[in-house]
A and B are shown apart, each in its own frame.
Chain A
Amino acid sequence: MSARARRWLLFALAALVVAVVLFPVYWMVVTSLLPSSVVLSRHPPLLPPPGQVSFAAFAEVFSRRPVLTWILNSTLVVAGSTAVSLAISTLAGYSLSRFHTPAQKAAGAALLLTKMLPGSLIVIPFFVMFTTAHLIDTRLGLIVANVAVGVPFATWMMKGFFDTLPRELEQAAAIDGCTPLQALWHVILPLARPGLAACGIYLAIVAWSEFVFARTLVTKADLWTVTVGLQSFVGEYLVDWPALMAAGVVSLVPMFVLFLLLEPFLVSGLTSGAVKQ
């Protein structure tokens, strides 16, 4: 077999793998585009019949459910927690990368360990603490809870990025008369911009996916986030599958955009144990 033929054979194999792996996403989209009469069948068509495709389920889910409110709540929580986590973690990651004191090594290990805490456990003290602090049923409370999850791993991610920048940069800046803080602000941070972007996107994906805090620390329906809203369909007497899949598709679009922006960083430099919630 020629090298060319082998490449195309590999391509066919890879395309097949991707098709099988993405079938759930495909099925979600197909379901959202078909009326219930077609979808609720013991032999649903694997390819949507062209004449039946409609956006009725999207129209229905937006008119019957406060999807826009959920999206707004999620967006506010994601924006707030990502900004706060990123600011805190950039400073801490820089410190861990550049200054090595024994205490800081211990701090790094502690940060790493906090990644192991189950969300369904840590939410219990959060519930008690937030009740005392009147943070239950507030978006601020959700932001704070997401920061607790975001800071530890984002700090490690940023430390990894700063480690790739040579120390000579600050030394050169010092010779030019920069204070250490000025060197960080004017020299290092601009160079770390790709790292900041990747870390921010990653934080945003995790916060958008977050469920257990939003489900527990918020009881008012008008403060629900997207994940809580989606989950509220489940367990209803008759699940409206096309509407639920339509809402699911809407919730996925921002994730996929963010993911495609993040993906180059994922495979190249980012896998030093930092990735995943």
Chain B
Amino acid sequence: MTSAAAPSPPAGPPARRRGSSLKAGERRLAWLLLLPAFAAVAALVAWPLYVIVQMSLRPGRALALSQLMSQPLGLANYERVLNLPALWAAYGHSAVYTVGSLIPAFACGLVFALLFHRAFPARRWLRSLLLLPWAVPGVVVSITFLWMLDASYGVANAMLRDAGITRADIAWFVDARTAMAAVIAPTVWKSFPFFTITILAALQSIPASLYEAARVDGATARQQFVHVTWPGIRRPALLAVLLNALWTFREFDIIYASTRGGPAGATETLGILVYREAFESFRFGTAAAIGVLMLATAAVFVVLAMRFLREEFR
């Protein structure tokens, strides 16, 4: 079918003039319009990133920028951080949290998208309702699950009791053995709509004629999925996985608002560790060093993922 990519370059609007042939006036306008965004990004993204790298290279506890920049340069922060057991634990927690959230969120997102792509009454309304969790602030998601998973009065334990599964008061967020699962649950709830949205849009772009042809050829539902549906949604679905992996990797609100990384560091991901190091221990230098390592990890992941995606879409 369409697995052999067409030799033409990616279709963009044709006949766009190249930069060199832009008229001087147009070029000036182009830059003028970009200027405020450039200024904002330079002042509020590039400069802060530079400050982070500077901080990570300056041992000491200075809080003011001027004080900080007068500290001598050195690698002591990195030395301290790399010998920190909490750092390696946080790497592990981040990996478990990211993968553990991503898989169920993707599975739910895919299944719901396939269901809501079918025609049935009131579909538009039900679809809006299904996607609502996406718009719930992380903090609100967090406190809602904190209440539902409360040990004594939580509705989750009540349901387990009524179903006769367990009589124990499971303290989901407080017990170190269940805390990770407890922070993953709200994360999945908030992030599956993104997959549903992306995959629904991709499903809409698959021509109905492909399904008709498959039916004429006697393809089963499963064969239709493997040979028509999945090739049609694979690219946006994998991109969505990549983006969501990055967002989950840096997630802060849901975990901090429920456990603050506890109990005993059981849910302390890198994003939480960075924050606690800076604003609970007031060690900005080591926090910045952890942050630099975190960014480097994300960058390595993106490079590897892009290589994989490029192979995939060749």
Contact = CB atoms under 8 A, between A and B. Distances in A.
Interface of A: 7-8, 10-11, 13-15, 17-18, 21-22, 24-25, 27-28, 31, 39-44, 46, 87-89, 91-92, 94-96, 98-104, 107, 110-111, 114, 116-129, 131-132, 144-145, 147-148, 151-152, 155, 163, 167, 180-181, 205, 208-209, 211-212, 216, 226-227, 230-231, 233-234, 239, 241, 244-245, 248, 251-252, 255-256, 258-260, 262-263, 266-268, 271, 273, 275-277
Contact of B37 (A88, A144, A145, A256): A88
Given A227-B139, A255-B136, A128 B34 contact: no
A128 B119 contact: no
Q: Give the interface size bracket for B toward A.
A: 35 or more
Contact of A129 (B48, B145, B150): B48
5 contacts: A21-B133, A25-B136, A107-B34, A124-B274, A259-B135
A147 B44 contact: yes
B41 A216 contact: no
Contact of A251 (B37, B55, B137): B137
B118 A148 contact: no
Contacts of A111: 37, 41
B140 interface: yes
Interface of B: 13, 16-19, 22, 25-27, 29-31, 33-34, 36-38, 40-41, 44-45, 47-49, 51-52, 55, 63-66, 68, 112, 115-116, 118-123, 126-148, 150, 152-153, 155, 158, 161-162, 189, 194, 197-198, 200-202, 204, 236, 239, 243-244, 246-247, 249-250, 252-253, 256-258, 270-272, 274-275, 278-279, 284, 287-288, 291, 294-295, 298, 302
Contacts of B140: 227, 230, 248, 251-252
A111 B44 CA distance: 12
Contact of A128 (B65, B118, B155, B161): B65
Interface centre among A87, A104, A117 (most CB of B within 10 A): A117
Contact of A43 (B115, B144, B161, B284): B161
B134 A259 contact: yes
Contacts of A40: 152-153
Interface of B is mostly: helix
Nearest to A259: B135
Contacts of A117: 45, 49, 250, 295
Contacts of A211: 137-139, 252-253, 256-257
Nearest to A3: B119
Given A120-B275, A227-B137, A41 B153 contact: yes
Given A7-B119, A121-B291, A24 B139 contact: no
A21 B38 CA distance: 41
A91 B55 contact: no
Given A21-B133, A163-B13, 15 more contacts: A7-B121, A14-B123, A15-B126, A28-B144, A99-B26, A100-B16, A103-B19, A116-B246, A122-B45, A122-B48, A124-B284, A132-B65, A132-B66, A227-B137, A259-B132
Contacts of B22: 99, 101
5 nearest A-B residue pairs (beta carbon): A92-B37, A148-B44, A209-B137, A99-B30, A101-B19
Contact of B128 (A118, A128, A260): A260
B40 A124 contact: no
A222 to B, nearest CB: 19
A266 B63 contact: no
B136 A252 contact: yes
Contacts of A163: 13
Given A44-B153, A99-B27, A121-B271, A256 B132 contact: yes
A132 B143 contact: no
Name A's interface SS: helix
A113 to B, nearest CB: 9
B144 A22 contact: no
A92 B41 CA distance: 12
Contacts of B257: 211, 230-231, 234
Contact of A212 (B119, B239, B275): B275
Contacts of B275: 120, 123, 212
A122 B43 CA distance: 12
Given A100-B17, A129-B48, A212-B252, A121 B294 contact: yes
Given A120-B275, A124-B284, A126-B48, A42 B158 contact: yes
A124 B143 contact: no
Contact of A148 (B40, B194, B298): B40
Contacts of A7: 119-121
A18 B129 contact: yes
